[in-house]
Structure 1
Amino acid sequence: MADFVGVFLKILFVCTGNICRSPLAEVFLKTLIKDEKVSAYLCEGLEIFSAGTSAYFQSGVTKEAIEIARKYGADLSLHRSRLLNKKMIEDADLILTMETRHREFAKRLAPGCLDKIFLLKDYVGEGNQPKNVYEHEISDPIGLGISAYEKCAKEIIKAIKKLIIRLDEAGA
C-alpha cells in the first residue's frame, strides 16, 4: 500500500475580523497537533486556515493576540486577515466558527454547505446544555485587555485539544 501524500482534510476557522480568535485557533491547531500523540497521517494531512466575516483590510492580528500566541509557543506576527468568501467555505471540509452569528453568516454565504458549518464548541461537545446561549461561543477579547485574551486562548486551546482527539479517533 502506498503512503498517502497530500491534504485530506481542510479546516476553516471563522471569527469577525480574523485578527484574534480564528487566527489563534488556526495557529493553536497547527502547534498542538504536533504535540499531541496522534498519527503522522493526521498531522501531515490537514490544511488549516482562517478568515473573518468582516476582515476587509488585510490587517495584522492584535498585539495581544501575538503576545498570547507567543506565550503558547506559536507565532502570529506574519498573519494577515482574510475576508470569508463562498469559495473558502465550499473548499473547506469543516468550518468551525467562534460565534453563532459567524455560523449563520457562513450558512447564508454558502447554503449548499450547511452540513459542514459548526460552532467550534458545539463540534467538540462543549456546547451541550449551556446555561445561556453565549456558552456555545468563544468570547471576543477585543478591547478588553490581556486577561480577556488569556481567557479566550484557554477556551480555544481546550476546544482544539478536543478537536484533535475527535479527528484522530475518526481517523480523519
Structure 2
Amino acid sequence: MINVLFVCFGNICRSPMAEALFRHLVKKEKLTNKIAVDSAATSSWQIGFPPHEGTLNILKKYNISSAGLVGRRLKKEDFSKFDYIIGMDKNNIKNIYRITEKPNHPKIIRLLDLTKYRKDIPDPFYTGDFEETFRLVSAGCRVLLNKIHSEKNLG
C-alpha cells in the first residue's frame, strides 16, 4: 500500500481538502486498493474537529465526499508510515521537518513544488478564498498522482 499524507497548519482547510480530493482521484482511477490517503496538522488546536465550513462547501460543490475527515496532529511516527508527506506551504514543511526530525528528506514535499506554480497554497482560513485553494490543491493533487503512477509503476 502506498500511503500519502497531506499536512497544513490546522487540518481544517487545505489538508482535508487535499485528502478528500486525492481520495476522489484515487477512487476514479480504481486505485483504492493501492493508495491510502490521510491528512494532519502541525498544530494541535483543531484536533478532533471536522473541516472548516468553507472546505466542506467547496467539496460539496464539486461532488467530493468529506466522509471521515477529522482533524489530527502530525506525529513523529507518521514519517515511517507514509511514503509521501505533502505540505501546503513553506511553514508547514519546516514544521514537518521539526516534528518528524527528518529535515530535507525527499519524501517531504511542498505540494505546488510539483507544479508550474512552485509556491505556497494560501490558507483560506485567512483569505476566505476556498475556490482559489481548491484550484491550486487540485492542480497539485493531479501532478502528485501522476508522480506516484510513474514512481510506483501503477500503469
Please say whether Structure 1 and Structure 2 have the same fold, judged by a TM-score greater than 0.5. Answer: yes
- SS in structure 2 at match of 1:86: coil
Higher gyration radius (CA): 1
Structure 2 residue aligned with 1:150, among 131, 144, 155? 131
- Counterpart CA distance in 2 for 1:143 and 1:125 is 23
RMSD (Å) for aligned C-alpha atoms: 1.9
1:85 aligns with 2:75: yes
Q: Which of residues 99, 109, 120 in structure 1 aligns to 2:111?
A: 120
User: Match of 2:97?
Assistant: 107
2:8 to 15, 20, 24: 15
1:116 and 1:30, CA in 2 relative to 1: closer, same or farther beyond 3 A?
Answer: same
User: CA-to-partner distance for each residue in 1:75-95, whole Å, 9 max, x for gaps?
Assistant: 225421001110112211110
**TM-score, normalised relative to structure 1:** 0.79
Consecutive unaligned residues in structure 2, runs of 5 or more: none
For each residue in 1:13-58, what CA deviation from the matched residue of structure 2 results, as whole angstroms up to 9, or x when unmatched?
A: 000100010001011011022335xxx5x44211110000113331
The answer as to whether partners of 1:126 and 1:159 remain within 8 angstroms in 2 is no
Partner of 2:19 in structure 1? 26
Does 1:60 find its partner at 2:50? yes
5+ long unaligned stretches in structure 1? 1-6, 129-135
C-alpha distance in structure 1 between counterparts of 2:90 and 2:127, whole Å: 21
Q: Is the 8 A contact 2:111 2:140 kept in 1?
A: yes
8 Å CA contact 1:31, 1:73 repeated in 2: no
Partner in structure 2 of residue 3 of structure 1: none
- The alpha carbon displacement at 1:143 in A equals 4.2
Supply the AA of the counterpart residue of 2:123: D
Q: Which of 69-78 and 59-68 deviates more? A: 69-78
Are residues 1:75 and 2:100 paired? no
TM-score, reference length from structure 2: 0.87
1:44 to 28, 33, 52: 33
What is the DSSP-based 3-state SS (H/G/I as helix, E as strand, rest coil) of the residue aligned with 2:125? coil
Q: Shift of the alpha carbon at 1:120?
A: 0.8
Change (3 A) 1:52 1:71: same
Residue by residue over 1:137-159, the C-alpha shift from the partner in whole angstroms, topping out at 9 and shown as x without a partner, is 111111433xx001100110111
Distance 2:62 2:89 in 1: 23
Q: Secondary structure at the match of 2:124?
A: coil
Give % identity: 27
Residue type at the aligned position of 2:71 = S
